[in-house]
Amino acid sequence: MSGFSAQWLELREPFDAAARAKAAEASLALWVQNRGGPLRIVDLGAGTGANLRHLAPLLPVAQDWLLVEHDPALIAAGEPRLPTTGPVLARYRRADLVAELESVLAEPVDLVTCSALLDLVSAEWLDRLVRIVQARDLALLAVLTYDGRVALEPARPLDGEVVALVNRHQRCDKGFGPALGPEAGIALARALHGAGDQPLLALSDWNVGPEARAFTAALIEGWSAAACEIAPERAEAIASWRRERLDDVAAGELACRVGHVDLLRLPRGERRTP
Ligand SMILES: C[S@@+](CC[C@H](N)C(=O)[O-])C[C@H]1O[C@@H](n2cnc3c(N)ncnc32)[C@H](O)[C@@H]1O
């Protein structure tokens, strides 16, 4: 289990929503409008359903969502929030994306989407996803893939070292084999380009102001823990960085930018699946 709490997903949801690349959303909505509905959507690693909550109102057709998630606690938190009537229908399927990706995508689907997932996956798993998407000429919207850029304002001397350790932690196995971490967004774009696609790749950075104390404090805690796991011999220095940074947060003096990318692939053909 990868261990994302519903509380953490709720904390990040408004920052994710604000960060998502408008160009990718607008292009997807235009494609959907021209194509018409209904649209069958599979959301990989759906958590409590944040991707559905953000995207569904932007797509001007009837939609049928399948939310794929392996963590029963997140499914339990998300299920009561699913729409049950109207133009948007949604249901969960509990599945492990490592063992069951092909089976999950054997379900009827027009658009595959995922939010904050791809930095967890391995190169091998990403290849499996790309193969399916291209073989079936599916639309793909992969948003909020962490890309390794972190800038803290004001800066402190240890920031660079902590971020470098965090980025090494990002490459550890998150259940899919060695994770692509910060390289995932570019790796996906390259894989699609290699097979002749021209995906749209756009930045979707978190811009976190000094007033967002709870969110920034959670980031500092998460980064400190990850950095200590990678470099236990630096635990003392990291602990003092953590204390200093949490003081900055409490004083309302710490802002940060965290780099992400969004990618959109649209089908090449106008084929309508039955
Ligand atoms: C960073 S969270 C993002 C959740 C949600 N997409 C969002 O944007 O709020 C990553 C999600 O992927 C799920 N996940 C990780 N590994 C998985 C696997 N092997 N099979 C299914 N879901 C997985 C986690 O449980 C978690 O819900």
Each residue of 64-91: pLDDT tens digit?
999 999 999 999 999 999 998 889 999 9
In this prediction, residue 85 carries a pLDDT of 85
**82 close to 140: Cβ distance less than 8 angstroms:** no
Determine the pLDDT at residue 269.
83
- Does the pLDDT at position 270 exceed 70? no
pLDDT score recorded for residue 78: 98
**Ligand 1 centroid to residue 252 C-alpha, Å:** 31
User: Which pLDDT band holds residue 9 (cuts at 50, 70, 90)?
Assistant: very high
* Residue 193 reports pLDDT greater than 80: yes
| Averaged pLDDT for residues 242-255 | 98
In this predicted structure, the answer to whether residue 98 has a pLDDT above a threshold of 90 is yes
* Residue whose tokens read 């409590």: 48
pLDDT above 60 for 2:
no
pLDDT score, position 195: 83
Give the tokens for residue 209. Answer: 């102001």
Nearest Cα to Cα of residue 173 among 208, 139, 122: 122
Query: In angstroms, what is the span from residue 46 Cα to ligand 1's centroid?
Result: 6
Listed residue (11, 9, 17) closest to 56, CA to CA: 17
Query: Model confidence over 99-156: pLDDT tens digits?
Result: 999 999 998 899 999 999 999 999 999 999 999 999 999 999 999 999 999 999 999 9
Identify whether the C-beta of residue 204 lies closer than 8 Å to the C-beta of residue 262: yes
pLDDT tens for 202-233 read 999 999 999 999 999 999 999 999 999 999 99
User: Ligand 1 centre and the CA of 47: distance in Å?
Assistant: 5
Nearest to 213 by CA among 248, 259, 258: 248
Whether 51 lines ligand 1, by a CB cut-off of 6 Å, is yes
The pLDDT value given to residue 107: 84
100 CB within 6 A, ligand 1? no
Ligand 1 centroid to residue 43 C-alpha, Å: 10
Q: Which atom of ligand 1 is nearest to the CA of 74?
A: 27
Closest CA to 223 of 201, 246, 251, 250: 246
Atom from ligand 1 closest to the CA of residue 144: 8
Q: What was the pLDDT predicted at 84? A: 86
Q: Which of 4, 81, 126, 128 to mutate to test the pocket of ligand 1 (most atoms within 8 A of CB)?
A: 4
Q: What mean pLDDT is reported for the chain?
A: 96
Q: Whose CA is nearest to atom 25 of ligand 1?
A: 71
All structural domains of the chain: 6-150+178-207+259-265 (3.40.50.150)
Asked whether the predicted pLDDT for residue 272 surpasses 60, the reply is: no
Residue 1 predicted with pLDDT over 80: no
| pLDDT at residue 271 is higher than 60 | no
The protein residue whose alpha carbon is closest to atom 8 in ligand 1 is: 115
Ligand 1 pocket, residue 70 CB under 6 Å: yes
pTM: 0.96
Q: Measured between alpha carbons, how far is 44 from 41 in angstroms, rounded to an integer?
A: 10
pLDDT-derived band at 273, boundaries 50, 70, 90 = very low
Ligand 1 atom with minimal separation from the 50 CA: 9
- DSSP secondary structure, 78-126, as one string: HGGGS--SSSEEEEEEE--HHHHHHHHTTS--SEEEEES-GGGSBHHHH
